[in-house]
Chain A
Amino acid sequence: MNISSIAIVGDSLAAWTAAAILAKHFAQQIKICVLEIPVPDDASAESAMPSLREFHRLLNIKEREFFQATDATFKLATHYRDWLRPSHSYWLGVGDCGMSLDGVEFQHYANLLHQCGDSTAYDAYSLTVQAARKRKFNPLSNSQQAAGFQLPYAMHLDTTSYKQMLRGYATAMGVTAIGGELAQTELTLESGKLRQLQADFFIDCTGAAGKLIENLAPGDLVQDGLGCDRRLSWIEPSPADIPNYTTLSAHAYGWQKTIPLRSEVHQHYFYNSEFLSDAQALEIIKQQTTEDVQLTNLHSGYRPNPWVKNCLALGEAANGGGQLGLSNLHLVHTGILRFIELFPSVESPAFALEYNRLTALEYERIAHFQQLPFALSQRDESNFWRVNKMHPLPAALSHSIDLFKQRGKIAGHEQETFSLPSWAAMFLANECWPQKYDPRLTGIKLEQLQQHTAAMKTGIQQIVNAMPSHTEYLQAYLKNA
Chain B
Amino acid sequence: MLEHNADPAIRSLIILGGGTSGWMTAAALAHFFVPRGVQVTLVESEAIGTVGVGEATLPHLRFFNQTLGIDEQEFMRATGASYKLGIEFSNWGKQGDSYIHPFGDYGQDIKGVAFHHYWLKQYLQGKAHPIDEYSLPIMAAQQNKFLFPSSDERSILSTFSYAYHIDAGLYARYLRNYSEARGVARQEGKVVSVSQTDSGDIKSITLDNGKELAADMFIDCSGFRGVLIEQTLKTGYEDWSHWLPCNRAVAVPTQRSIGTERSASFPPYTKAIARDAGWQWRIPLQHRTGNGVVYCSDFCSDEQALDALLKNLDAPTTADPNFLRFVTGKRKQAWNKNCVAIGLAGGFLEPLESTSIYLIQIAIMKLVEFFPDREFDAAPRAEFNRQLDLEYDRVRDFLILHYHATQRTDSEFWNHCRTMKIPDELAHKMELFRARGHVVQYKQGLFLEPSWVAVYLGQGVIPQAFDARVNAVSERDCAALMAETYNLVARASGDMPLHEKFLQHHLQVPAAQYASPKARMSLYGVRT
| Chain A residues within CB distance 8 Å of chain B | 25-26, 28-29, 58, 103, 112-113, 115-118, 340-346, 348, 350-351, 353-354, 399, 402-403, 406-407, 409, 411-412, 414, 436-437, 439-440, 442-443, 446-447, 450
Q: How far is the CB of B95 from chain A (nearest CB, A)?
A: 30
B432 A437 Cβ-Cβ under 8 A: no
Cβ proximity bits B30-54 to A, threshold 8 Å, 1 near / 0 not: 0011011100000000000000000
Q: With an 8 A cutoff between CB atoms, is B518 at the interface?
A: no
The smallest beta-carbon distance between A128 and chain B, in angstroms, is 24
Q: Is B319 interfacial (CB-CB < 8 Å)?
A: no
Q: Are B379 and A414 in contact (CB-based, < 8 A)?
A: no
The answer to whether A437 touches B443, judged by C-beta atoms less than 8 angstroms apart, is no
Could you list 16 further interchain pairs (A-B, Cβ under 8 angstroms) beyond the known A345-B467, A411-B386, A446-B3?
A: A25-B468, A28-B471, A115-B4, A118-B2, A340-B469, A341-B467, A343-B436, A343-B467, A346-B436, A350-B432, A354-B432, A354-B438, A409-B379, A439-B9, A439-B371, A442-B9
Pick the contact of B3: A29, A116, A342, A409 (CB < 8 A): A116
Contact (Cβ within 8 A) B2 A348: no
- Given known A414-B443, A439-B33, contact A450–B4 (CB-CB < 8 A): no
**CB distance A409 to B383 under 8 Å?**
yes
Chain B residues within an 8 Å CB radius of A113: 2
Q: Return chain B residues, CB-CB under 8 Å to A342.
A: 432, 438
Q: With CB as the reference atom, state the residue of chain B lying closest to A27.
A: B472
CB distance from B27 to the nearest CB of A (A): 16
Q: A28-B471, A116-B3 are in contact. Are A406 and B379 (CB under 8 A)?
A: yes
Selected A-B contacts with CB under 8 Å, 12 pairs: A28-B471, A343-B436, A345-B464, A345-B465, A350-B428, A350-B435, A354-B440, A407-B370, A409-B369, A412-B387, A436-B373, A442-B36
Complex alpha-carbon distance, A384 and B428, angstroms: 43
Q: Mark B1-41, 1 if CB is under 8 A from A, else 0.
A: 11111010110000000000000000000001101110000
Structural contact, B444 and A412, CB atoms closer than 8 A: yes
The answer to whether the Cβ of B382 comes within 8 Å of any Cβ in the partner chain is: yes
Find chain A residues with CB under 8 A from B431 CB. 348, 350
Asked, given contacts A112-B4, A442-B37, whether A26 binds B468 with beta carbons under 8 Å apart, the answer is yes
- CB-contacts of B451-508 with A (<8 A): 464-469, 471-472
Q: Does B213 contact A (CB under 8 A)?
A: no
Distance in Å: Cβ of B338 to nearest Cβ of chain A: 15
Query: Contacts A116-B4, A346-B436, A439-B36: A407 and B469 contacting too (C-beta < 8 A)?
Result: no
B380 at the A interface (CB under 8 A): yes
Q: Closest B residue to A413 by CB, please name it.
A: B444
Do residues B370 and A409 form an inter-chain contact, with CB atoms below 8 A? yes
Return the CB mask of B343-371 against A: 1 if under 8 Å, else 0.
00000000000000000000000001111
Report yes or no: B471 in contact with A407, Cβ–Cβ below 8 A.
no
Known: A350-B428, A354-B440. A29 touches B465 (CB 8 A): no
Q: In chain A, what residue has the closest Cβ to B371? A: A439
> Smallest CB-CB separation from B468: which chain A residue?
A343
Most buried by A among B4, B382, B467: B4
Contacts of B2 in A (CB 8 A): 113, 116-118, 446, 450
Contact B436 A345 (CB under 8 A): yes
Contact B368 A440 (CB under 8 A): yes
Chain A neighbourhood of B370, CB < 8 A: 407, 409
Q: Chain B residues with Cβ under 8 A from A344's Cβ?
A: 435-436
B442 touching A402, Cβ below 8 Å: no
Partner of A345, one of B372, B378, B466: B466
Given known A-B contacts A436-B7, A440-B368, A345 and B468 have beta carbons under 8 A apart: yes
Residues on the B chain within 8 Å of A439, using CB: 9-10, 33, 36, 371-373
The 5 closest A-B pairs by CB, nearest first: A116-B2, A345-B465, A402-B379, A442-B36, A403-B379
Does B198 lie at the interface of the complex (its beta carbon under 8 Å from any beta carbon of A)? Answer: no
Is residue B303 contacting chain A, with contact meaning CB distance below 8 A? no
Q: Are B368's CB and A407's CB within 8 A?
A: no
Closest to B436 in A: A345
Question: Is there an interface contact between A345 and B379, defined as CB atoms closer than 8 Å?
Answer: no
The answer to whether B10 touches A354 (Cβ under 8 A) is: no
Asked whether, in the complex, the Cβ of B464 is within 8 Å of the Cβ of A346, the reply is yes
Q: Check B371 against A440 for contact (C-beta < 8 Å).
A: yes
B261 CB-CB contact with A under 8 Å? no
Question: What residues on A are CB-neighbors of B380 within 8 Å?
Answer: 403, 406-407, 409
- The CA-CA distance from A407 to B438 in the complex, in Å, is 39
Tally of contact residues, B, Cβ under 8 A = 47
| Structural contact, B379 and A443, CB atoms closer than 8 A | no
| A103 CB contacts on chain B under 8 angstroms | 67
Measured between beta carbons, the chain A residues less than 8 angstroms from B307 are: none
Q: Please indicate the chain B residues that have their CB under 8 angstroms from the CB of A341 in the complex.
A: 438, 467
Minimum Cβ distance to chain B for residue A417 (Å): 13
Contacts of B32 in A (CB 8 A): 440
Please tell me if B320 contacts chain A, counting CB pairs below 8 Å: no
Residue of B nearest to A2 (CB): B465
How far apart sit A350 and B429, CA to CA, in the bound complex (Å)?
9
Whether B383 lies near A443 (C-beta < 8 A) is no
Task: Specify which chain B residues have a CB less than 8 angstroms from the CB of A350 in the assembled complex.
Answer: 428, 431-432, 435
- Alpha-carbon distance A58/B112, docked complex (angstroms): 9
B314 contacts partner chain A, Cβ-Cβ < 8 Å: no
Question: In the complex where A26-B472, A348-B435 touch, is A399 in contact with B465 (Cβ < 8 A)?
Answer: no
Q: Are A25 and B469 in contact (CB under 8 A)?
A: yes
Closest-by-CB residue of A relative to B437 is: A345
Check A403/B428 contact, CB under 8 A, given A340-B469, A346-B435. Answer: no
Q: With A407-B377, A442-B37 in contact, is A414–B440 under 8 Å at CB? A: no
CA distance A310 to B471 in the complex (A): 22
**Residue of chain A at shortest CB distance from B440:** A354
Most buried by B among A26, A342, A345, A399: A345
**Contact of A29 with B435 at beta-carbon distance under 8 Å, contacts A116-B4, A436-B373, A443-B37 already known:** no
Query: Pick the contact of B472 from A28, A118, A354, A437 — CB < 8 Å?
Result: A28
Please state if A414 and B383 are interface contacts (CB–CB under 8 Å).
no
A407 touches B379 (CB 8 A): yes
Cα A406 to Cα B67 in complex, Å, equals 27
**Chain B residue with Cβ nearest A115:** B4
Specify which chain A residues have a CB less than 8 angstroms from the CB of B469 in the assembled complex: 25-26, 340, 343
Q: Find chain A residues with CB under 8 A from B467 CB.
A: 341, 343, 345
Nearest chain-A residue to B8 (Cβ)?
A: A436
Q: Which of B67, B112, B383, B428 contacts A354 (CB 8 A)?
A: B428
Find residues 416-443 in chain B having any chain A CB closer than 8 Å to their own CB.
428, 431-432, 435-436, 438, 440, 442-443
Within the complex, the shortest CB–CB distance from A320 to chain B, in Å, comes to 26
C-alpha gap A406/B435 in the complex (Å): 46
In angstroms, Cα B386 to Cα A399, docked, is 11
> Which single residue of chain B is at the shortest CB-CB distance from A30?
B468
Contact of B5 with A115 in the complex, beta carbons under 8 Å: yes
Residues of A contacting B472 with CB < 8 Å? Answer: 25-26, 28-29
Distance of A208 Cα from B368 Cα, bound (Å): 47
Interface hits, B369-396 → A, CB 8 Å: 369-373, 377-380, 382-383, 386-387
Contact A345 B435 (CB under 8 A): yes
CA distance A406 to B373 in the complex (A): 11
Residues of B within 8 A of A450 (CB): 2
Bound: A411/B67 CA distance, A:
23
Contact present for B383 and A399 (CB under 8 Å): yes
Q: How far is the CA of A60 from the CA of B196 in the complex (A)?
A: 66
User: Which residues on B sit within 8 Å (CB–CB) of A354?
Assistant: 428, 432, 438, 440
A399:B379 contact, CB within 8 angstroms: yes
With beta carbons under 8 angstroms apart, the residue of B3, B4, B438, B444 that contacts A437 is B4
- Chain B, residues 302-319, CB within 8 Å of chain A (1/0): the string is 000000000000000000
Shortest beta-carbon distance, B481 to chain A, in Å? 18
A113 CA / B371 CA spacing, docked (Å): 20
Chain A residues with CB under 8 Å of B368's CB are 440
Instruction: Please determine whether A403 and B435 come into contact, CB atoms closer than 8 angstroms.
Output: no
Tell me the minimal C-beta distance from A54 to chain B in angstroms.
Answer: 11
Q: Are B35 and A443 in contact, CB atoms less than 8 angstroms apart?
A: yes
Q: Bound complex: CA of A407 vs CA of B375, how far in Å?
A: 12
Shortest distance in angstroms between B368's beta carbon and chain A's nearest beta carbon? 7
User: For B371, what are the chain A residues with a Cβ–Cβ distance below 8 Å?
Assistant: 439-440
